Structure 1
């Protein structure tokens, strides 16, 4: 390893001086990450870490995947940037590819640089098409850091706007482990979904926005029938369905897009993160009819630029050629079964949930009291053992796993063995 790295202590000093304080970090004793290689990261001392968080569900094809990197470098050497006012092929090829792999009828894309921009654009499109301005979102959802998307967010930690919009209503999500109504599925008759109708029947709402599986909210995974009922209610009241696939897209959950688990077709889908395997890009896609309501000039300066579009195309190629969607499904089932086995031995593990390689373990003390401090301690212990995981949820007590889809069963066994040992200590 080279020695020209300033180290974590110096970075922390500069961070305190030069960054806005909202930019936080994990760990009491953080490390300086300098290199990535497929499912591994390396710090400035050369220590290797098995990454089971994937840059928060970004590196689906693995860190610095050589096949993706090569395509990026080739494009960089040829044409780096022009904007959409000139004709370039990578953006159009990517739009065509997304039309092929997204649910039926979704066809027309708009490219931008982040998930926040994608959700902001999707909301604008919904308003243009319906000529209505209100939205329904879900408690514990996370949709971005811009003014509107922060207001669409239903997770208190990320709602720092001191003057939230009054045109957004948040409804309870399908958080069965802590049901807002004190009910139990399936006897609940999906009360949380039915409440949507109570909210919208007397209002002028443009759309309902939701993450199919809530990432930062704690890997909240709705039960069977939930989204089918939501779709029925939205159709009754002429509202659009926006599915936020920023964290769940591109094979993460064992389907190309998570909403496919419920066999529901959204009106607008947003994406970012894993779309280009870490190269900044975002997009929203819709059908012909809705797209035609957005005709006034619009563009994102770096959205769909040749490098990001090429990175996305290369990422899609890797995902398909190496069957990473099926791999996420198979390995996810294996991992989840192993976690459930651990749950039988450790009372701290309150619930295991999620799909594919998007899994969460809610850690609790007696009476389901969130075990937030214990979660932090486990993350520190994992890190010391060379394993990186995440934490999510309102109380930050959900141990979260969103690894690159290129991991192996042996990697999973290593994480399970480590977690078992940590919980026995």
Structure 2
């Protein structure tokens, strides 16, 4: 009998031992549950573990699954391309990435020329956006929001405002401004004080000349923090007055997730200079992109910029199918309608569970924030962890997020249905009861 070198041991014990023996410490860290969980398959908004227990995926595998696990049209598009040509470097021409670039540009605000550079991931796209802004403006200084998350690479870390994601050796020339969190922001609710602070930071913590400012249109890992009306346009105005560009990070909030718009920045009627995207674009296939106004991207033609698997035709074929599915299956509208129904149920939970300090979100991008006391708003990390663990027993997968891990973040595939709303809300209700007694 011959040994199969591709045999897969699906046991929890075997997988756990191989991870412990062969994963670096840096890759072992990010494990959410006390007891590990092995997922074997997925379909739509559902996941099954190695013991065939079913879960509702409210995390979308960190928002990478946009149109549903193993969506047949995405799988078929990628499989057909893989059978024909698995990879083609951008040194040579291939029509699939070129078509996807055209289709992405068509989703951008009209009356502008948009161009696309494909990367392997969102973090690489952030790095490129930073380089593009510095090249175009000739300035070095960048602004970012506190509690922002833009990625784990050295450059993306430098504009990430959460200590747990920052490591030694990050590049400099970054100043942080307070996030306009309407629940616990340092200036309370409102917009103007946060815009005034941008001007103060430019005047005191930078050279006065900016390369740009990066803003997640809805902060994701920071706890689903939406930008209040007028903030994005006001920030862009102040940054441009200092010579910089407005860089919209849509890695988590894009592709119709917030329901009312395809890109979350559209809510404020503002046009970015650069848009960064990834995650849901590939529905699990690795791909990221920087979409920029043509004049902003042009100065970079003087030097080489290369991403080995950027514009990989298999990932781009998946991306093309994703855009078509979002449109054909009306998933943006589904996100709006199902998200509104679920948000209403979450607010009912807030009325009945004192540990819930805030419920917020748009479309299928929602959060429950736990507090020890609603008046003091003291974050309750321990109860959040307990509810999170109890949700697993209810067949719900979500994430602990926010700077103090006191937020339950729900960002399911856009195909979450109305029939799932009761299961999610009832499961959360039971988990809250189990965790808080």
Fold similarity call, TM over 0.5: yes
Which bracket does the TM-score occupy, shorter chain normalised? over 0.9
Match of 1:232 among 234, 237, 248: 237
| Aligned residue pairs, count | 418
Aligned counterpart for 1:63 among listed residues 61, 69, 72: 69
Residue 106 of structure 1, CA deviation: 5.4
Matched, 1:340 2:342: no
Cα-to-partner distance string for 1:252-299 (whole Å, 9 max, x where unaligned) = 111211111111110000000001111000100111211211112322
Aligned to 1:17: 21
- Check if 1:400 corresponds to 2:413: no
Checking the alignment, whether the CA contact within 8 Å between 2:209 and 2:243 is kept in structure 1 is: no
**How does the TM-score come out when normalised to structure 1?**
0.95
SS at 1:83 equivalent:
coil
Query: Equivalent residue of 1:336, what SS?
Result: helix
Bigger mean CA offset, 27-36 vs 3-12: 3-12
Q: Aligned-pair distance for 1:424?
A: 2.7
Q: Does the residue aligned with 2:26 lie in a helix, a strand or coil?
A: coil
- In structure 2, the residue matched to 1:417 is 426
SS at match of 1:59: coil
CA distance in 2, matches of 1:304, 1:207: 26
Deviation at 1:200, TM superposition (A): 1.9
Residue 41 of structure 1 aligns to a residue in which SS?
Answer: strand
Q: Matched residues in 1 for 2:328 and 2:370: separation? A: 37
Q: Which of the numbers 172, 177, 183 marks the counterpart of 1:177?
A: 183
Larger relative contact order (CA 8 Å, sep ≥ 6): 1
Question: Which of the numbers 190, 197, 206 marks the counterpart of 1:195?
Answer: 197
Task: Choose the corresponding residue for 2:371, options 355, 359, 364.
Answer: 364
| Separation in structure 2 between the aligned mates of residue 79 and residue 241 of structure 1, nearest angstrom | 37
Per-residue deviation at 1:176? 1.9
Deviation at 1:4, TM superposition (A): 5.7
* CA distance 1:106–1:359, shift in 2 (3 Å): farther
SS in 2 for 1:142: coil
Q: Secondary structure at the match of 1:14?
A: helix
CA deviations 1:380-407 (Å, max 9, x no partner) are 1111121111111011010110001111
What residue is the counterpart of 2:39 in the other structure? Answer: 33
**3-state SS, counterpart of residue 177 of structure 1:** coil
Q: Distance in 2 between matches of 1:358 and 1:106?
A: 30
1:149 is matched with which residue: 151, 156, 162?
156
- Separation of aligned partners in 1, 2:245 and 2:327: 30
Matches within 5 A, 1:245-256: 245-254=250-259, 255-256=261-262
TM superposition shift of 1:313: 0.1
Query: What aligned pairs does 1:3-402 form with structure 2 within 5 A after superposition?
Result: 5-23=9-27, 24-104=30-110, 105=112, 107-160=114-167, 162-181=168-187, 183=188, 185-186=189-190, 190-201=192-203, 202-254=207-259, 255-295=261-301, 296-366=303-373, 367-402=376-411
Contact persistence 1:57–1:252 (CA under 8 A): no
In 2: Cα distance, 1:64 partner to 1:121 partner: 30
- Mean CA deviation greater in 227-236 or 403-412: 227-236
1:81–1:305 Cα contact (<8 Å) kept: yes
- Return 293-302 or 111-120, whichever deviates more: 293-302
Secondary structure of residue in 1 paired with 2:226:
coil
| Deviation for aligned residue 1:412 | 1.4
* 1:203 CA drift (Å): 1.8
TM, length-normalised to structure 2: 0.93
Runs of 4 or more consecutive aligned structure 1 residues displaced over 3 Å after TM superposition: 3-6, 163-166
| Structure 1 stretches lacking a partner, 5+ long | none
Name which of structure 1's ranges 49-58 and 9-18 shifts more when overlaid on structure 2. 9-18
Cα distance, 1:131 vs structure 2: 0.5
Most deviating of 192-201 and 273-282? 192-201
How far did 1:300 drift? 1.4
Alpha-carbon distance change, 5 to 332 in structure 1, aligned in 2, over 3 angstroms: same
Contact 1:106–1:268 (Cα < 8 Å) also in 2: no
